[in-house]
Structure 1
Amino acid sequence: MDEDKRITLRLPTDLHEWLATQAKSARRSLNSEIVHRLEVERDAAMADAESPSPRFGSSCPAPQESDSSPT
C-alpha cells in the first residue's frame, strides 16, 4: 500500500470474534486479516469483470429431474 488511510469500522460482535479467530489462526493481526480479505475479494471482482464468461448465473440450462417415477 502506498498510502494508508484510517477508518473507524463498526462490526457486529459475532463477526468481530470470527474475524479475530481467523486472524489468529492465520497469524495475522485483525487489521491485516480484514485488509487481506478485502484485497482477495477485490482481486476476484476485478478478475470477474475482465472474464468473458460470468462467474455465476451462466447461460447453461439447469439440470432437469429425470422421470423415474414408480409405475
Structure 2
Amino acid sequence: MASQKEDRKHQSLPVVSGNSKLSNLRGRVWNVIDNTTPTLASKVTLFACYVNINDVHKKTSKVIKKLSL
C-alpha cells in the first residue's frame, strides 16, 4: 500500500516546463496547496492566491493579444 505522501505526489499537478515563469509559479503554488498545507484555512488562502495568479495571467494574455493585432 502506497504512503499518503506518494499518493499526493501522483495527484499533484506537475510544474510546467519551458520558459514560462508564470506557468512554473502556478504549478509550484498548486503543489504547495496540495502537498504541504495541513489546515483547511491555509489551503483556502493559498487557493485564493492560485486563482488570482490565473486571473492576472488571463487578463495579461488578453492585453498582449490586443496589442499584437
How high is the TM-score relative to the length of structure 2?
A: 0.39
Bigger-Rg structure (1/2): 1
Structure with greater contact order relative to length (CA < 8 Å, sep ≥ 6): 2
